[in-house]
Chains A and B, each alone.
Chain A
Amino acid sequence: MIRLEPRTEPSRAMIALTPILAVLATMIAGGILFSVLGKNPFEAIRMIFWDPVLGEHAFYYRGQILVKAAPLIMIALGLSFGFRAGIWNIGAEGQFIMGAVIGAAAGLALYPSQSIFVYPIMLIAGTLGGMLWALIPAYLKIKFNANEILVSLMLVYVAFNFLAGMVTGPLRDPDGFNFPESRSFQQWDAASNPELIAGSGIHWGVLMTLGLVIVAYIVLTRHIFGFHIRLAGQSPRAAKFGGVNPNKMIAICLGLSGALAGMAGLYEVTGPAGKLTTTFPLGYGFTAIIVAFLGRLHPIGILLAGLLLAVTYVGGDVIQANLSLPKASIQVFQGMLLFFLLAVDVLVHFRLRFKRGI
């Protein structure tokens, strides 16, 4: 029988290896899932992981990978700081929506100005919108010790309805034949976030994401703030002794993750999405939680994990189109990834021992 034996030190090899193991386990379990649905599992897995990157029609999909990866990575970077400090912002989806709505509203107030200040104003407004939305759970946690997991999650549904109210009300396109959507930002140069190189998927948000990965890496490994974040997560009482104010930490971590989610929302609404609609949220805020953990809460890991999850997003579109699998099947697939990651994580702190007999 198999026994788990605690390791004296966490295994560094396993920290790097478990994400790969999790991906493999997800492929196997996903393959079983697809064959139960009556599809060829090898074909489905190939379509998810291979076709978007190197397949026959990959030129069409490749741009999509960066478009999807950028918001995932940007949001996950913000979340990773809080997760390291033991502050659980589960509501990035809501902050993403609020960033898009507030940023879009700030821009639309200036319509049809062609000033070069329009876009910076929208970016700041979107970032602040996401940040303030995340500071609500922060305030409630500091003031009343309310659980930030519940509050931030519930605020996602408030944000959903706020978005719906806005696109059917104040932000509805006056020239839009009463459709529940805002004006298009793609057709308004001062407020658009266009694809910079045709077919590449690169827009301003992608470049910003790459910059943020580097900044996050430096802060986490070289700056005392990164040290305090890790300290607060591993050993809260030692952190307090070291002079880390736990309330300040809550506000900073939630505010920061909300700001990045809001910024991602603004780049999304002005770029790939183009306008606010009721179907604007795609679940990036939730998937980013998977990205953060799959990337081991480390900026470089998050970069890689974001690209991988983006591939499964695009691959999900491929199997949806080619194998007529339901959209939910790819969401299950992504969910399994987190599930398996958490399961194989046990190998970091334990080793398996095979023993005969009892």
Chain B
Amino acid sequence: MKKEKRFNFNLIGCFFIYLMSGAFLVSCFSIEDIDSRTFPMILCILCMLLATIFLVQILKGKYTNADINMSGTAKALLMAGIILLYIVAINLVGYYIASIVFMPLAMLILGQRNWKIIVGVDVGVILFLYLFFGLLLSMQMPEGILFH
């Protein structure tokens, strides 16, 4: 029976290093001053060299999926998406209003079902943020464009 070949997740890391160092290297060529570009250029090449050694070792089978745990990534990325929406909401309606909505929503998604806890934490944290940062420290809070 033919053994099914599994995707080696280490390749993601390798690809990411190539992508980042490649982008930096291309950007180096647009820097006119030679002093400013030499050091980063050497670093980019070093980075690519390391990524190539890594790739060779992956292909040789030295790095496998044995030490990698990617389970739950979909759930983590879903949360990342919600946080992104939260950041967009902050830019629209401001920090306090966005946080009042985000916290109970996140708590519900993460499995909290006790309404007393959800409401208590939501109100308590926002109150603390307002009193400590807003009033006591007079800190500038993110304001949404809708209420600016």
- A and B are partners in one complex rather than unrelated chains: no
Contact residues of A with B, CB < 8 Å? none
